């Protein structure tokens, strides 16, 4: 805006000033020519011709203009410098001829050096008596230099104005955007899970100060809600697990008493035996569901950045851990494909993902079949079973919480695949379910490769106690959350 305003003001002003300067120079040349013509006419009249060279020499030295004086016949009496020799006949030149007829002229022409000059030719006359003529010339470069200086002065003034406006605009912009910058920094901190530096609410325009204050209140309220949710998850983890564990132990004790036909047997109605078995199964399922919900809540409330993890080492470790459980069901675990190397995942996520998927696959795999952990280039892992598989509609709903297929067993919770999807997404990857060739299900896990690091020898985790050991197991037996294919 400032540049447009300055251009609209200074360009017309510059043109007007330049035209005015040209007109002023032309008037000055014409006036000086008239004065010199009057003085030289007096000297010619008095016969003081020797005085003419000194007169025009002084003027040339002071102003830089060139003067030529002729008599009434057009013969040169005196001239600045040696460009026109004395006695040269100039009567044929139009301006001299017009001056000898008592007609002054002004204009531009080309001198003997080929330069453009501004001239003014005046008659040296007293009344009607003409005693000679005088031509005064100025190079147009002198006038052009003055015009250029005018444009330069206007440009410098405009530059100073623009600089002042730019400094004022920068200060104003920084004042306006300071709350925006503090809001942006606070937003990043809130996205990382903790608002350490609230936005500045004391500077900037009133609207931005109000926005910063509203954001601070919202962030504080959200932080309180998250803290309350974390506290609830931690408290519920202890408050819910303890009575469920005690109830399960009491029911198991009574079941063992019944099986041993001890004193409790005569007092138990035979029709209640099956109900007791089902009650124990439902209590155990409820315990797994509580574990799964708490684990999912902790995952959703925790902001963890993906880190480089050796996929090959984790696959070998989990395959070795699950091999005894697979052997009990006469199912073979096979690891195939080339080494993938390191991928990006949140700490412990790969172990949890593979544990849940293997638990689901083992639950539906018939004896004599194989579960394949297939690695493919591009940080991709497939867990393929030879079970009954899923229809397209079932695969579309498999990641929903608490969803179970109609053909599934009843001891699952429907949370396993929800947890798996959350872990994969938090690691920056993607998981999809496909029908495996020849039947069964193919769980396709795609992660992002990490920067290569030194490879380590795959070893079993010393803190792993069994399938699904990633779940908080304080005070309970390790379990795999999710239960069955339906939850996944």
pLDDT tens digits, one per residue of 402-414: 666 665 554 555 6
- pLDDT of 294 > 50? The answer is yes
Query: What is the pLDDT at residue 409?
Result: 52
- Who wins on pLDDT, 409 or 10? 10
Question: What is the C-alpha to C-alpha distance for residues 350 and 370, in angstroms, rounded to an integer?
Answer: 21
- Who wins on pLDDT, 194 or 359? 359
User: Residue 16 — pLDDT band, cuts 50, 70, 90?
Assistant: confident
Query: What is the pLDDT at residue 286?
Result: 65
User: Residue 313 — pLDDT band, cuts 50, 70, 90?
Assistant: very high
Give strand ranges (E) for 234-339. Answer: 307-310, 332-336
- Who wins on pLDDT, 411 or 134? 134
User: Residue 466 — pLDDT band, cuts 50, 70, 90?
Assistant: very low
Query: What is the pLDDT at residue 407?
Result: 57
Rounded to an integer, the average pLDDT of 67-84 is 86
Number of H helices, E strands in the chain: 10, 13
Q: In terms of Cα–Cα distance, which of 276, 284, 274 is closest to 245?
A: 284
Query: What is the pLDDT at residue 176?
Result: 81
Question: What is the C-alpha to C-alpha distance for residues 294 and 412, in angstroms, rounded to an integer?
Answer: 16
Structure tokens at 346: 């949140």
pLDDT digits (tens, 9 = 90+) for 40-74: 888 888 888 888 888 988 888 888 888 999 998 99
pLDDT digits (tens, 9 = 90+) for 356-406: 899 889 988 999 999 999 999 888 999 999 988 888 888 888 887 766 666
Q: Are 445 and 315 a contacting pair, CB within 8 Å?
A: no
Q: CB neighbours of 429 closer than 8 A, spacing ≥ 6? A: 343, 345, 379, 445, 446, 447, 448
- pLDDT of 421 > 50? The answer is yes
Percentage of the residues of the chain whose pLDDT score is greater than 90: 19
Average pLDDT, the chain: 77
Question: What is the C-alpha to C-alpha distance for residues 250 and 243, in angstroms, rounded to an integer?
Answer: 10
- pLDDT of 464 > 90? The answer is no
User: Residue 233 — pLDDT band, cuts 50, 70, 90?
Assistant: low
Question: 138: part of which helix (H) or strand (E)?
Answer: strand 129-139
Q: Which of 214-228, 247-261, 294-308 has the highest mean pLDDT?
A: 214-228
- pLDDT of 462 > 50? The answer is no
Query: What is the pLDDT at residue 472?
Result: 30
User: Residue 263 — pLDDT band, cuts 50, 70, 90?
Assistant: very low
Query: What is the pLDDT at residue 485?
Result: 45
Query: What is the pLDDT at residue 476?
Result: 31
The DSSP letter of residue 440 is: S
Structure tokens at 222: 């959200």
Rounded to an integer, the average pLDDT of 324-350 is 90
Query: What is the pLDDT at residue 458?
Result: 42
User: Residue 310 — pLDDT band, cuts 50, 70, 90?
Assistant: very high
Query: What is the pLDDT at residue 442?
Result: 92
Question: What is the C-alpha to C-alpha distance for residues 205 and 188, in angstroms, rounded to an integer?
Answer: 22
Rounded to an integer, the average pLDDT of 152-158 is 85
Residue 17: burial class (beta carbons within 10 Å; 0-12, 13-18, 19+): middle
Rounded to an integer, the average pLDDT of 76-80 is 89
Query: What is the pLDDT at residue 118?
Result: 86
Alpha helices by DSSP H, 64-116: 94-100
Question: What is the C-alpha to C-alpha distance for residues 386 and 368, in angstroms, rounded to an integer?
Answer: 10
Question: What is the C-alpha to C-alpha distance for residues 280 and 188, in angstroms, rounded to an integer?
Answer: 48
Handedness of CA 290, 291, 295, 296 (dihedral sign): negative
């Amino acid at each position: 805006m400032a540049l447009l305003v300055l251009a609209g003001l200074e360009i017309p002003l510059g043109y007007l000033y330049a035209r005015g300067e040209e007109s002023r120079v032309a008037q000055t040349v014409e006036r000086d020519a008239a004065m010199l013509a009057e003085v030289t006419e007096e000297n010619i009249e008095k016969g003081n011709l020797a005085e003419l060279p000194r007169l025009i020499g002084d003027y040339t030295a002071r102003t830089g203009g060139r003067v030529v004086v002729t008599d009434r016949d057009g013969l040169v009496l005196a001239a600045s410098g040696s460009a026109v020799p004395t006695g040269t006949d100039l009567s044929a030149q139009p301006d001299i001829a017009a001056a000898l007829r008592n007609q002054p002229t002004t204009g531009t022409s080309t001198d003997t050096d080929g330069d453009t000059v501004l001239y003014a030719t005046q008659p040296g006359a007293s009344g009607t008596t003409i005693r000679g003529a005088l031509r005064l010339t100025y190079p147009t470069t002198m006038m052009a230099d003055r015009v250029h200086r005018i444009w330069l002065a206007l440009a410098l003034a405009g530059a100073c104005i623009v600089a002042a406006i730019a400094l004022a605009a920068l200060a104003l912009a920084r004042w306006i955007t300071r709350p925006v910058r503090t809001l942006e920094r606070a937003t990043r901190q809130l996205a990382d899970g903790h608002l350490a530096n609230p936005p500045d609410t004391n500077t900037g325009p009133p609207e931005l100060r109000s926005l910063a204050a509203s954001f601070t209140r919202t962030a504080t309220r959200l932080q309180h809600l998250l803290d309350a949710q974390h506290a609830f998850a931690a408290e519920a983890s202890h408050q819910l697990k303890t009575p469920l564990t005690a109830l399960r132990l009491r029911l198991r004790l009574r079941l063992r008493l019944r099986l041993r036909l001890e004193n409790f047997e005569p007092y138990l109605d035979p029709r209640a035996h099956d109900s007791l078995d089902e009650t124990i199964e439902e209590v155990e399922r409820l315990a797994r569901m509580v574990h799964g919900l708490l684990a999912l809540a902790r995952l959703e409330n925790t902001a963890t950045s993906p880190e480089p993890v050796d996929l090959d080492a984790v696959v070998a470790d989990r395959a070795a851990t699950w091999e005894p459980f697979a052997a009990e069901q006469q199912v073979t675990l096979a690891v195939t494909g080339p080494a993938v190397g390191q991928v990006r995942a949140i700490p412990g996520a790969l172990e949890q993902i593979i544990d849940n998927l293997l638990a689901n696959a083992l639950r539906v795999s018939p004896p004599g079949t194989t579960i394949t952990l297939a690695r493919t280039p591009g940080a991709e892992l497939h867990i393929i079973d030879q079970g009954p598989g899923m229809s397209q509609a079932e695969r579309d709903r498999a990641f929903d919480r608490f969803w179970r297929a109609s053909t599934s067993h009843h001891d699952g919770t429907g949370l396993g695949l929800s947890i798996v999807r959350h872990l994969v997404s938090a690691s920056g990857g993607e998981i999809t379910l496909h029908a495996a060739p020849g039947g069964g299900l193919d769980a396709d896990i795609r992660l992002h490769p990490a920067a290569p690091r030194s490879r380590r020898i795959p070893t079993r985790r010393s803190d792993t106690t069994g399938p699904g050991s990633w779940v908080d197991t304080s005070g309970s037996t390790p379990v795999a959350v999710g239960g069955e294919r339906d939850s996944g």
